[in-house]
């Protein structure tokens, strides 16, 4: 990821921004991007997801997670959101 280098104006100045960018990058890699040799996403290969996600769905889920975290403890809200996703 280019965010780890300081040679450009894209580097993160806050740890929170870096965490958000890295999380979004890994989510895209695992749920949206089809791997060349696997011919499916890594999440589908691992059995975590049964379908290919669209980028719009990923953005919608991450914005919903961000809204759930506002005003709450980050660790607890993410655990609650993960439990809700498992139940659905």
pLDDT tens per residue across span 19-65? 888 888 999 999 999 999 999 999 999 999 999 999 999 988 888 87
The count of structural domains within the chain is 1
State the alpha helices, DSSP H only, in the chain: 15-27, 42-46, 55-69, 74-87
> ∠ at Cα 46 (75, 53), nearest 5°?
75
The model's pTM: 0.64
Q: How many CB atoms lie within 10 A of CB 70?
A: 7
Confidence of residue 3 (pLDDT cuts 50, 70, 90): low
* Confidence (pLDDT) at 82: 64
- Residue 46 or residue 80, greater confidence: 46
Its sign, for the CA torsion 64, 31, 52, 50, is negative
Range(s) of the domain holding residue 43: 2-87
């Amino acid at each position: 990821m280019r965010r780890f280098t300081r040679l450009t104006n894209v580097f993160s100045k806050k740890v929170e921004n870096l965490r958000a960018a890295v999380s979004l990058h890994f989510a895209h890699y695992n749920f949206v991007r089809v791997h060349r040799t696997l011919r499916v996403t890594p999440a589908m290969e691992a059995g975590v997801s049964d379908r290919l996600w669209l980028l719009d769905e990923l953005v919608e889920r991450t914005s919903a997670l961000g809204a759930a975290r506002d005003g709450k403890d980050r660790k607890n809200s993410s655990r609650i959101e993960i439990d809700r996703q498992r139940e659905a």
